[in-house]
């Protein structure tokens, strides 16, 4: 069973920025960066500022305590960002939207890990079992592969106004249907008569509370 980080410890905007920079440099360099490399990438004037944030990240479990700037996972694991509330017009993976990072088995991904993100499910509109036996319950973490084109028949993430919604995408007669898959009859399909902003396709679900 895949391990995920505990999500109760939220990061400040500065901590998010430092962690994102460490992850990016680690991927680019092929090894953990130095404090000075992180300082240079962030355009900080001193390494002490970086050190203060990395010490906090270690205490929160986002970095290994026994090594300088190493990420706490093995070679088969990558850090996938958990995206929070999505503001209309703001890039989905902007630093402001990232709440945390979830380690995920890279061998289960199709293509580059940079094309993936997690969303936390809200509500019960997708809690019915589909043909693959995957349900999406309130609080679950949904793995999404970025895609901006409609993929009919798939569970997609669509941006409607300022809110991201996960629904089954279907064709209607002159319109698009965002179909819930729910045990709750209060959840109704959404009919869309214009182009929708597709953010990606839901590929996996990590159930809330699963930590090992």
Higher-confidence position of 36 and 9? 36
Higher-confidence position of 94 and 44? 44
Would you state the pLDDT for residue 204? Answer: 86
- Write out pLDDT tens, residues 101-157: 787 877 788 888 888 988 888 777 777 765 456 778 887 888 889 888 878 888 888
> Torsion-angle region of residue 40: left (phi > 0), alpha (psi -120 to 50) or beta?
alpha
Structure tokens at 193: 């008569």
**Cβ pair 180, 189 in contact under 8 A:** yes
- 9-72 and 108-207 agree in CATH topology: no
Would you state the pLDDT for residue 6? Answer: 42
Kindly report the CA angle at 104 between 99 and 110, in degrees rounded to 5?
110
24/120 Cα distance (integer angstroms): 23
- The answer for residues whose C-beta is within 8 angstroms of residue 31's C-beta and 6 or more apart is none
Q: Is the pLDDT of residue 211 over 60?
A: no
Nearest to 4 by CA among 75, 98, 86, 105: 105
In the DSSP assignment, the letter for residue 10 is P
Would you state the pLDDT for residue 38? Answer: 92
143/159 Cα distance (integer angstroms): 16
Any idea which residue has 């990232």 for tokens? 98
Residue boundaries of the structural domains of the chain: 9-72, 108-207
Chain centre to alpha carbon of residue 49: 27
What positions carry a catalytic annotation?
A: 125, 167
| Arithmetic mean of pLDDT, 12-26 | 82
66/136 Cα distance (integer angstroms): 37
| Arithmetic mean of pLDDT, 38-60 | 89
* Fold that domain 108-207 belongs to in CATH: Umud Fragment, subunit A (2.10.109)
Q: Is the pLDDT of residue 85 over 50?
A: no
**Cβ pair 69, 22 in contact under 8 A:** yes
Higher-confidence position of 210 and 196? 196
* Fold that domain 9-72 belongs to in CATH: Arc Repressor Mutant, subunit A (1.10.10)
Would you say the pTM of this structure is higher than 0.85? no
In the DSSP assignment, the letter for residue 44 is -
- Write out pLDDT tens, residues 159-181: 776 677 888 899 888 888 988 88
116/67 Cα distance (integer angstroms): 27
**Cβ pair 29, 122 in contact under 8 A:** no
């Amino acid at each position: 069973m895949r391990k995920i980080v505990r999500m109760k410890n939220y990061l400040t905007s500065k901590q998010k920025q430092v962690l994102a920079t460490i992850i990016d440099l680690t991927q680019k360099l092929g090894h953990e960066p130095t404090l000075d490399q992180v300082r240079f990438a962030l355009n900080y004037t001193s390494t002490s500022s970086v050190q203060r944030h990395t010490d906090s990240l270690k205490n929160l479990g986002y970095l290994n305590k026994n090594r300088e700037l190493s990420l706490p996972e093995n070679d088969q694991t990558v850090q996938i960002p958990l995206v929070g509330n999505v503001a209309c017009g703001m890039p989905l993976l902007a630093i402001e939207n990232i709440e945390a990072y979830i380690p995920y088995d890279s061998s289960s991904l199709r293509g580059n890990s940079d094309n993936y993100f997690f969303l936390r499910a809200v509500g019960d509109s997708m809690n019915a079992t589909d043909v693959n036996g995957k349900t999406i319950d309130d609080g679950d973490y949904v793995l999404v592969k970025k895609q901006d084109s409609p993929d009919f028949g798939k569970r997609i993430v669509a941006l409607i106004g300022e809110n991201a919604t996960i629904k089954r995408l279907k064709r209607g007669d002159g319109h698009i249907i965002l179909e819930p898959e729910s045990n709750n009859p209060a959840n109704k399909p959404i009919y869309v008569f214009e182009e929708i902003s597709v953010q990606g396709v839901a590929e996996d679900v990590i159930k809330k509370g699963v930590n090992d």
